[in-house]
Amino acid sequence: MGGDDFFFMGAALEEAEKAYRLGEVPVGAVLLAPDGLVLARAHNMPISSKDCTAHAEVVAMRKACAAQANYRLSGTIMYVTLEPCAMCVGAMLHARVSRLVFGAFDPRGGAAGSVVDLTAVARFNHRIEVAGGVMAEKCAGILQSFFRARRA
């Protein structure tokens, strides 16, 4: 993990804070181009968009694909504050995202190592390099705060 991982995870946390303020589960994502430029930033928005697939990662990939006029995102790096679910890892595999950096582990639904690891299935034709636990305490903290407030 380099300094860039912490910098861009900080940007993903800014997106998670936006989701928090909107009453969405506070997950944020930043997608980098191979040259290191930000292609897209996004946060969870399934409630406000009335779209069950509007997870931060998927929204970021949709924005990036539209901006590049291409459905492939080869060479990109996805930063996300929570370990992605199976849907999001599946979308990253189809898009050919090269690297995934996530913050908090998700022991109930994580598909990048916690529950299952879809990033390295030998029979798939693409694999994703993974770095988990980057700024994990901060990433988990915003989620814990959100759910604590919802239960109160």
Quickly list DSSP for 24-75: S---EEEEE-TTS-EEEEEE--HHHHT-TT--HHHHHHHHHHHHHT-S--TT
Active-site residue, selected from the candidate residues 15, 24, 57, 83: 57
DSSP state at residue 79: E
> What is the spatial distance between Cα 92 and Cα 76, in angstroms, rounded to a whole number?
10
Question: Is 14 one of the annotated active-site residues of the chain?
Answer: no
- The closest alpha carbon to 57, from 85, 21, 37, 38, belongs to 85
Active-site residues, by number, are: 57
